[in-house]
Amino acid sequence: MSHDLVIGMAGSGGDGIVSAGESLIAAAAGAGYAAIMTKSFGSQIRGGESSCRVRISTKPVLNPGGTLDVAVALNWDDFLKFGAELPVGGNTVVIYDAKTGVAPDKLPLGAVVPEEVYPVPIDALARQTAGTDKAKNTVILGLLAGWFGLAADDLLAGMRKKFAKKGPELVAANEKAFEAGRNYAAEHPLREPRFMEPAPPGEPKLLTDGNDMCAAAAIFAGCRFFGGYPITPSTEIMQFFTREVWRHGGAVLQAEDEIAGIGAALGASFGGVKAMTATSGPGMSLKSEIMGLATICELPLVIVNVQRGGPSTGLPTKSEQADLFQAALSAHGDVLRPVLAPVSVRDTFGVTVEAFNIAEQYQTPVIILSDQEIAQRKESCDPIDTRAFKLVDRLQPSAADLEKYVRFRFTESGISPVSAPGMPGGNYLGSGIEHNEHGDPTASGGMHAKMNEKRFRKLDPLKHRRDLFETYGDPRAPLALIAWGSVAGVCIEALERARQEGLRARLLVPKLLWPIAEEVYRDFFAGVQSGLVVEQSHQGQLYRLLRMQLDVPKGLQSFARSGANPFQPAEVVARLRETALAVQRQGAETLTPVE
Amino acid sequence: MNCQPKDYKSDLKPIWCPGCGDFGVVQAIYRALAAVGRPPHEIAFVSGIGCSSRIPGYTTAYGFNSVHGRALPIAQGLKIANPDLLVLCAGGDGDGFSIGGGHVAHAIRRNLDLTYIVMDNQIYGLTKGQLSPTSKLGLKTVTSDLGSLEAPVNPLLYVLSYGAPFVAQGTPADMAGLASVIEEAIRYPGFSFVNVQSPCVTFGEDDWQLKQHKAVMKSVASLGHDASDVIAAMRLAQAYGSELYTGVLYRAPQPPSTYDALVRERQAEQQKKALPRERILELFAAKKKETAA
């Protein structure tokens, strides 16, 4: 029996590989499994190679998994193009189309020799049953259902629904193709059964990707205006708004460029409406100036950066975590702009709501640093109780305030009540030029210093937000891991594996990346002798920010590499072990012995 | 509401040089706003950067003196979010036709009900006398010591060609006329554009000051111009730089639907399918909950 299965599939553009993955995760979610699906394409807009991986589990999953348990290749040329994204190991069950003519003992996998290899006449079965090779992906689903006991009823129901619009003939043809796959599996049993255990009972799962989750959370948080410009891999956020926001009384503007997108959003916020924009790295570069305007005007605004590989156009369809410096530091003048990062699709909900709350509470722009991996992967996850979330609205002036309204009044907290056009008595001038308490432009150095101090002071409470951090593992372990964004899910699993291998470690997952919550890190570092900050960037940007702001333990190192090369739990464990050994060699006595 | 021009004047003292055309523009705006009669708190005035972009601060309306070239996107977001506001947008020729030039075409085709006033002085005044997008070919400035090599943008023709439904020009040399076109622009239900020839006393050309305006300006009405004829309007606009025409060049007789009105219609239509925000995650339910038959 299996309780966790990672399936990787690849084929040519028209083979319907991604569609098969979508069907698989929908069926798995319907049957109550937790699951993650990622897809990957060549750079062609249509055609070319495409692949997906689906991880299905009886327990919550936080990353797409490492080495495949099952590999499906419709042809080897396409499969091999995905290299490290679809790693095959000795225990991988390899299924491929017999039409490729490759002998089972001559697979083009170099030194890797999988023990179980099944050349299946996938193309032939599709043609025989459905009369077309277009049903190849349905045959594959039948094979997976047969061999791994994957939610056959849900798969069939999903298929019927999917093809219902196209007529009963197509439904019947696909049912036959599915049965052919399932029968083939029954006639050729695996050496040892690898049936999935049934999913534990529970509330129905949610199935979506990070971008849709972000947009839904924004609407839940009360966002009623979206201004933006299409850019991979963030565009689905705007697309969700164009479908959904109207019925909540909001609006969306596809602007003429990135600057106009954030400009319109800031205009809406000036108008008293919760607003957001979303983009990726190149768009962030263009939006910088208006983010500065939001800071000095003290207006709430949420900016989502779904990170992709950079600089410049970089790797538009691949994940990277190299925009942290930009998010934290890219500004002229003294700017403190909160930066939050979700760790999963499910977590994107809470982080997005929090971003709006912080933006409103402190009248500041807030950046959500998502990444392509989270934004575009599909997750079957546990439901979210929206009643658990409190929503914050910006502090409005009281009737007494409005009698002699002072927009940027110096207060103890640094937060001044903010009016909006339409409010009698609240009239003020918002400006990018430095201003006094009343909003009148000033060139006074003294006033500038006071305003800077106010704009920084109001954000002080953020540095004490322990709830924006998660910790895992043994809180007194000498070994530490720190990871953020999509890499956090890899490290949570790595920590568990390390424990099983006798390595005691603790893990800190910051969702608030900036400002650096010094106390939280200091507490976490107490007793830490060595460890790793694991990041998907060349420089290891969080590691460097930490060293800029804090004294970090001597043995804390950066484990960083460029994007598009996903980390796997096993290599994090291996690196952690090396780190532990290095410290041990230096004679650190308090370390747990390492085998 | 009985409003007086002084109701729209703030206590802030303008930074403009004595004799600047913009003093006249702000006076004309006070008069136009008083004639329209909306109270100051229902008015939002957005600008970019430049001498002229200081103007919102000199009114009692809600003002937003933003960044260079981005007044129009900000004004549009504001109007969409709060369509009941009277939204004014203003800036100089650099703001509107150089750094922010790309936004003008889109503001026009989107056609929100707002008014865009450009104070066109053919020079960069705040930065002390560089070439602007409307500077004449051959003009000598600190960035063109030997004369400009570029032909100017024609703001009137620019907005007419993109289909602006209301286009007018004025000069503070004719205060009554300027106040009247601004008022008409505000009242027009759609994107309205007013180009104001507002001379720079410090860096502008000596032979193109209010005195000269007064001598050469011609009201298009006195020429028998039919403001519903876009081709005739374009013909007059061609003379930008050689003639100073004032008044309404074009007023689309049948105002096209505004974006803000279409947004309201769509919201009303979609709100029939309203979903309480607490239930938004139901969109992602892997299995619909069994509903009672």
Q: Is the pLDDT of residue A424 over 70?
A: yes
The predicted structure's pLDDT at residue A585: 78
Please provide the size of chain B in residues. Answer: 293
A58 CA to chain B: closest CA distance, Å? Answer: 15
pLDDT in tens, A265-295: 999 999 999 999 999 999 999 999 999 999 9
Every domain of chain A with CATH number 3.40.50.920 lies at: 468-585
Q: Is the pLDDT of residue A588 over 60?
A: no
Contact A271 B81 (CB under 8 A): yes
Contact B280 A244 (CB under 8 A): yes
Q: Is the pLDDT of residue A586 over 90?
A: no
Q: Is the pLDDT of residue B83 over 90?
A: yes
Tell me what the mean pLDDT of segment B83-112 comes to.
98
Task: Estimate the share of chain B in helix, then strand, then coil, as percent rounded to the nearest 5.
Answer: 40, 15, 45
* CATH class of the A210-388 domain in this structure: alpha beta
The predicted structure's pLDDT at residue B291: 44
Residue B27: how many other CB atoms lie within 10 Å: 17
The band of A44, judged by pLDDT with boundaries at 50, 70 and 90, is: low
The band of A590, judged by pLDDT with boundaries at 50, 70 and 90, is: low
Q: Is the pLDDT of residue A106 over 90?
A: yes
The band of B90, judged by pLDDT with boundaries at 50, 70 and 90, is: very high
Task: Using a cut of 0.90, tell me whether the model's pTM lies above it.
Answer: yes
Angstrom distances, CA of residue A287 to CA of A42, A121, A214, A320, B58? 29, 53, 20, 20, 28
Angstrom distances, CA of residue A14 to CA of A7, A18, A42, A168? 20, 10, 13, 22
Residues of A in contact with B263 (CB under 8 A): 251
Dist. CA B102–CA B162, nearest whole Å: 12
The predicted structure's pLDDT at residue A583: 75
Q: HEC profile for A366-406?
A: EEEEEEHHHHHCEEEECCCCHHHCCCCCCCCCCHHHHHCCC
SS3 of residue B44 by DSSP: strand
pLDDT in tens, A325-345: 999 999 999 999 999 999 999
Contact in structure between A544 and A329 (CB atoms under 8 Å): no
Domain A468-585 fold is Rossmann fold (3.40.50)
Q: Is the pLDDT of residue B168 over 50?
A: yes
Contact B64 A429 (CB under 8 A): yes
Of A29, A224, A429, the CB nearest to B65: A429
CB pairs under 8 A between A and B: 200
The strand pair at A251-254 and A225-228 is best described as parallel
Contact in structure between A118 and A144 (CB atoms under 8 Å): no
A412 CA to chain B: closest CA distance, Å? Answer: 26
Instruction: List the single best residue of B55, B70, B111, B283 to mutate versus A (max A Cβ within 10 A).
Output: B70
Tell me what the mean pLDDT of segment A393-400 comes to.
98
The predicted structure's pLDDT at residue A85: 87
A419 CA to chain B: closest CA distance, Å? Answer: 10
The predicted structure's pLDDT at residue B293: 36
Burial class of residue A444, CB neighbours in 10 A (0-12, 13-18, 19+):
exposed
Contact A422 B283 (CB under 8 A): no
A7 CA to chain B: closest CA distance, Å? Answer: 20
Residues of B in contact with A426 (CB under 8 A): 41, 62
Dist. CA A397–CA A407, nearest whole Å: 9
The predicted structure's pLDDT at residue A41: 81
Q: Is the pLDDT of residue A247 over 50?
A: yes
The DSSP secondary-structure symbol of B96 reads I
Q: Is the pLDDT of residue A589 over 70?
A: no
Contact B77 A421 (CB under 8 A): no
Q: Is the pLDDT of residue A591 over 60?
A: no
Tell me the domains of chain B and their CATH numbers: 5-284 (3.40.50.970)
Residues of B in contact with A213 (CB under 8 A): 284
The band of A256, judged by pLDDT with boundaries at 50, 70 and 90, is: very high
- What is the percent of chain B with per-residue pLDDT over 90, rounded to a whole number? 96
Please provide the size of chain A in residues. Answer: 595
Contact A441 B284 (CB under 8 A): no
Contact A420 B73 (CB under 8 A): no
ipTM: 0.97
- What is the percent of chain A with per-residue pLDDT over 70, rounded to a whole number? 98
> Cα B194–B167–B236 angle (5° rounding)?
110
Of A248, A275, A427, the CB nearest to B62: A427
Tell me what the mean pLDDT of segment A200-223 comes to.
97
Closest CA to B263 of A257, A233, A273: A273
The predicted structure's pLDDT at residue A151: 86
Every domain of chain A with CATH number 3.40.920.10 lies at: 4-187
Prior bond of A233 cis (ω within 30°): yes
Contact B267 A250 (CB under 8 A): yes
Residues of B in contact with A420 (CB under 8 A): 62, 82
Q: HEC profile for A271-321?
A: CCCCEEEEECHHHHHHHHHHHHHHHHHCCCEEEEEEECECCCCCECCCCCC
Of A250, A256, A387, the CB nearest to B103: A256
Dist. CA B179–CA B161, nearest whole Å: 25
Query: What contacts B132, CB < 8 A, 6 or more positions away?
Result: B92, B93, B94, B98, B121, B122, B123, B124
Residue A399: how many other CB atoms lie within 10 Å: 7
Contact A431 B65 (CB under 8 A): yes
Query: What contacts B166, CB < 8 A, 6 or more positions away?
Result: B184, B185, B188, B190, B191, B192, B193, B248, B250, B251, B252
The DSSP secondary-structure symbol of A411 reads -
* CATH class of the A4-187 domain in this structure: alpha beta
Tell me what the mean pLDDT of segment A570-575 comes to.
95
Every domain of chain A with CATH number 3.40.50.970 lies at: 210-388
Q: Is the pLDDT of residue B292 over 50?
A: no
Tell me what the mean pLDDT of segment B158-171 comes to.
98
The predicted structure's pLDDT at residue A592: 55
Residues of B in contact with A255 (CB under 8 A): 73, 106
Contact B76 A431 (CB under 8 A): no
The band of B2, judged by pLDDT with boundaries at 50, 70 and 90, is: confident
